Chains A and B, each alone.
Chain A
Amino acid sequence: MGAIYRREMGSFFTSGIGYVFLTVFYIASGYFFYNDVIKSGLGDISPMFVSMFIVVIFLIPVLTMRLLSEEKKNRTDQGLLTAPISLWEIVLGKFFAAFTLFVIAESVIFIYALILKYLCKDMVWASLLGNYFAMLILGAAFIAIGVFISSLTENQMASAVVSVFFFLVLYAFDDSALEKINSNSFISKNFKISTRERIIEFLSHLSMRSRYTEFTRGIFSLSSVLFFLSIVFLFNFFTVKVLEKKRWA
C-alpha cells in the first residue's frame, strides 16, 4: 500500500493535478471565506462550509478521475495486479493519496481561523472544528465514490463527468427535495400518506447533504459520522470488486 500511496502522491505533483487542485481550492475557499464569513461580520465560519460543498463536488473528481482509469489505459495495471499485493492495498493506496491531498487543501481553513480570531474575538473553535471534520468525512466519502467511478472506465473525462453528475445528484438530494417529491400531486394521489412518510423518512437518512448541513449547524452526530465512514468503506469495497471482476471476466 505504501508504494502505491507514495507513487500517487508524487504523481499528483509531477502531473500538476495536485497544484491545480490546491490552487482552485484555495481561491474558492478564500472567496467564500471573504464573502460568507468576513462580510457578515459574525465570528461563525459555518456559512463558508455550506458553500464549499459545491466546490468539493467539482474538485474531488479532479483528484480521482485518473486514479484507476489511467492505469487501465496505459496498461500499468498489469504491473500492479501481478505484484504480490492484494487488491485492497491498491485501492486503499490510491484512496489515501487522494485523501491526503484533500486534507492538505482543507487545512487551509486554520489560516482563515487565525484571521477570523484576529478580526472577531468571539470566534467559536468548536464550530470550526466540527465543520472541518464534517468536510473531511464528506470529502472521504466523495473520494471513495470517485475512485470507484474511475475504476469503471478507461477514459478520464468520462470518469470526471460521471463523478460530477453523481455528486450533483447527491447534492440535490436533501430534505427540501424530498418534501417536494412528497407534495407532488401524482405521488400523493397514488400512495398512502403513511407509506409515503415512511419512504421519505428512510430516504432522508441517506441524504449526504442533510447530514452535512447538520454538522455545519454545530450538531455533532455519531450516526452521521458512521454513515460517511460506511460510504467510504462500501465504495472502496465496490472498487475492489470491480478490479476482481475484471480479472474473472
Chain B
Amino acid sequence: MIEVKNLVKRYGDKRAVNDISFKVEKGEILGFLGPNGAGKSTTMNMLTGYISSTSGQILINGVDILEEPKKAKASIGYLPEIPPLYVDMTVDAYLNFVFDLKKCKLPRKAHINDVCNLCKISDVRKRLIKNLSKGYKQRVGLAQALINNPPVLILDEPTVGLDPNQIIEIRTLIKKLGKRHTVILSSHILPEIQAVCDRIIIINKGVVAADGTADEIAKNITNEHKMTLRIEGPDHSRAEKDKIVQALKNIGGVKYVRADMEREKGIYDYDVETDGKTDVRRDINKLCFDNGWNILMLQLSDLTLEDIFLKITMGEGFGHSEDEKGAAAKEKKPKVRINLMTEEEAKAAEQAAREAAEEAAGEALDEKGDEE
C-alpha cells in the first residue's frame, strides 16, 4: 500500500530525515513514535507530497508521489499537525469546499453527513470554525481528511489538544477506520500508540530506531526476560540467601541471578534473567516447594514501551549490537535505584526522567526552528 525507500530530507546541512525505509500493508495501523523534532512530521509531509524528498522514493498504491502527484494524492487523506482549517468558514461550508477541492464524486450530502457523524461534529456544522474549541477543530480536521474516503489516512498527532474523553473517542474512531483504511499516525504519547497501532516505528534523529509490534520491539531491545522474585526461607539468614541464589542459578534456562536487598526482615529479592526462550516460572515454583521456601512475589519486568522509548530516545543507541550491550548494562543501574524507592518515589523519578527527555527534545526542536 505504502512503500518508502531510502527517504532523505536535507535542510541545508541538516538531515531532518536520514534514510528511512518502510512498508505499510493494506489495513494496517502504523504508529510513528518519536520525540519532538525527530522527523515525524517531515516524513509525513513527504508522504503526502507537501514537500519533496531530497532523495529516495515514496510509492502510494504503487504510484510515485513526485511523478504522478495528483493520482497519488487522490488516495491520501491528511491531517497535518495544525489542521488546515479556514477559520472564517462554517464547518459545513468548509467540508463542502474540501469535497470540491478533492473532486469527490460521492453523493455530496450523504457523504458529508456520514463523515460528520463519524467524527461527531454534526452538532456544530452551522458554526464558524474560529468559534470552535480545540477538540472540535481537531475533529473537523479529521473529517476533512476523511472526505472522499481515501484508502490511506495520514494523521499527524491526531489527539493533540483533546481532553481524555475525546482522546478515547478519537482512538476508537481510528481503530474503526483502520478496518477500512491504511492508517499512519504519529504521536509522542506512548499509551496512545500502544492502544491503537498494530505496528510501531520509532524515529529518532531522522532514522528508524525500531520497527515492529510493541512486543517485538521490547524483545529486541533486551533478549533476556527479567523477573524479580521475593523468596522467604525458613532460617531468615544470609547463608540461606546464597543457597537460594545458587539453587536458582542451577535451573535450566536461567542466565543470571543476583540477590537484591533485604526487603523484609531476612527476606531478600532476587533478580533473575533467563535466556528468553524458556519459561522458568514453574521450575522456580517447584524448586521453592521442594525446599520449603515461600514465594512472596514474582514480578516479570519486561520493558514497557515507555522504557524502550526513553532508552532509544535518550541517545543510548539501538539497533547496533555493540550498543545494545551497553544499553542493557546501563539498564540495570536505574533498575536498582528505583528498587530502593517506594513505589510513589519510583513513579515520580520516572516522571521526572520523562519530562527531562521531553524537555531535551523540545529544545532540539526549538533549535531546529531557529535554524529554519
Binding site for B on A (CB under 8 A): 2-4, 6-7, 10-11, 14-15, 74-86, 247-249
Q: How far is the CB of A64 from chain B (nearest CB, A)?
A: 18
Q: How far is the CB of A243 from chain B (nearest CB, A)?
A: 11
A residues within 8 A CB of B51? Answer: 247-249
Could you tell me if B84 and A76 are in contact, using CB atoms closer than 8 angstroms? Answer: yes
* Contact partner, B80, options A4, A10, A78, Cβ 8 Å: A78
A residues within 8 A CB of B159? Answer: none
* Contact partner, A85, options B76, B78, B103, Cβ 8 Å: B103
**B144 interface residue (CB < 8 Å to A):** yes
Could you tell me if A78 and B84 are in contact, using CB atoms closer than 8 angstroms? Answer: yes
Could you tell me if A81 and B49 are in contact, using CB atoms closer than 8 angstroms? Answer: yes
* Contact partner, A3, options B49, B52, B101, Cβ 8 Å: B101
B residues within 8 A CB of A4? Answer: 101
- Interface range, B side: 20 to 34
Q: How far is the CB of B156 from chain A (nearest CB, A)?
A: 10
**B363 interface residue (CB < 8 Å to A):** no
A residues within 8 A CB of B69? Answer: 84
Cα(A2)–Cα(B76), bound, Å: 21
Q: How far is the CB of B97 from chain A (nearest CB, A)?
A: 5
B residues within 8 A CB of A81? Answer: 49-50
* Contact partner, A84, options B73, B85, B87, Cβ 8 Å: B73
Look across to chain A and name the residue whose beta carbon is closest to the beta carbon of B11.
Answer: A249
- Pairs A–B under 8 Å by Cβ, sample size 22: A3-B100, A6-B97, A7-B89, A11-B88, A14-B89, A15-B88, A74-B86, A74-B87, A77-B84, A78-B50, A78-B82, A79-B78, A79-B84, A79-B101, A79-B144, A82-B50, A82-B73, A82-B80, A84-B69, A85-B103, A247-B50, A247-B52
A residues within 8 A CB of B287? Answer: none
Could you tell me if B98 and A248 are in contact, using CB atoms closer than 8 angstroms? Answer: no
Cα(A205)–Cα(B85), bound, Å: 45
Closest 9 CB pairs of A and B: A79-B84, A3-B100, A84-B74, A84-B73, A3-B101, A82-B48, A76-B84, A78-B80, A75-B82
**B263 interface residue (CB < 8 Å to A):** no
Binding site for A on B (CB under 8 A): 45, 48-52, 69-71, 73-74, 76, 78, 80, 82, 84-89, 93, 97-98, 100-103, 144
Q: How far is the CB of A11 from chain B (nearest CB, A)?
A: 6
A7-B86 contact in complex given A81-B50, A248-B52, C-beta closer than 8 Å: yes
Q: How far is the CB of A93 from chain B (nearest CB, A)?
A: 10
* Contact partner, B86, options A76, A84, A85, A249, Cβ 8 Å: A76
B residues within 8 A CB of A14? Answer: 88-89
Cα(A74)–Cα(B89), bound, Å: 14
B residues within 8 A CB of A83? Answer: 73, 98, 101-102
Look across to chain A and name the residue whose beta carbon is closest to the beta carbon of B97.
Answer: A7
Cα(A85)–Cα(B69), bound, Å: 8
Cα(A248)–Cα(B76), bound, Å: 20
A residues within 8 A CB of B84? Answer: 74-80
Cα(A152)–Cα(B98), bound, Å: 25
A82-B101 contact in complex given A7-B86, A76-B84, A76-B85, C-beta closer than 8 Å: no
Could you tell me if B89 and A10 are in contact, using CB atoms closer than 8 angstroms? Answer: yes
Could you tell me if B78 and A82 are in contact, using CB atoms closer than 8 angstroms? Answer: yes
Look across to chain B and name the residue whose beta carbon is closest to the beta carbon of A79.
Answer: B84
Could you tell me if A84 and B103 are in contact, using CB atoms closer than 8 angstroms? Answer: yes
| A75-B84, A82-B50 given; 5 more Cβ-contact pairs under 8 Å | A11-B89, A80-B84, A83-B98, A84-B70, A85-B101
A residues within 8 A CB of B73? Answer: 82-84
Cα(A14)–Cα(B130), bound, Å: 13
A residues within 8 A CB of B78? Answer: 78-79, 82
A residues within 8 A CB of B76? Answer: 82
Cα(A79)–Cα(B49), bound, Å: 11
Cα(A80)–Cα(B102), bound, Å: 9
- Residue among B45, B48, B84 with the most chain A CB within 10 A? B84
Cα(A3)–Cα(B51), bound, Å: 22
Q: How far is the CB of A4 from chain B (nearest CB, A)?
A: 7
Q: How far is the CB of A20 from chain B (nearest CB, A)?
A: 15
Cα(A75)–Cα(B83), bound, Å: 8
Could you tell me if A84 and B82 are in contact, using CB atoms closer than 8 angstroms? Answer: no
Cα(A76)–Cα(B86), bound, Å: 7
* Contact partner, A11, options B45, B86, B144, Cβ 8 Å: B86
- Residue among A6, A10, A85, A86 with the most chain B CB within 10 A? A85
A residues within 8 A CB of B144? Answer: 79
Cα(A85)–Cα(B97), bound, Å: 13
- Residue among A14, A77, A79, A249 with the most chain B CB within 10 A? A79
Cα(A10)–Cα(B341), bound, Å: 63
Q: How far is the CB of A88 from chain B (nearest CB, A)?
A: 11
Cα(A112)–Cα(B144), bound, Å: 46
Cα(A185)–Cα(B74), bound, Å: 63
Cα(A86)–Cα(B101), bound, Å: 11
- Residue among B70, B80, B98, B100 with the most chain A CB within 10 A? B100
Q: How far is the CB of B142 from chain A (nearest CB, A)?
A: 13
Q: How far is the CB of A242 from chain B (nearest CB, A)?
A: 14
Q: How far is the CB of A1 from chain B (nearest CB, A)?
A: 10
Cα(A151)–Cα(B102), bound, Å: 22
Look across to chain A and name the residue whose beta carbon is closest to the beta carbon of B147.
Answer: A83
A residues within 8 A CB of B87? Answer: 74
Cα(A222)–Cα(B28), bound, Å: 61
B residues within 8 A CB of A247? Answer: 50-52
Cα(A14)–Cα(B97), bound, Å: 15
Q: How far is the CB of A207 from chain B (nearest CB, A)?
A: 39
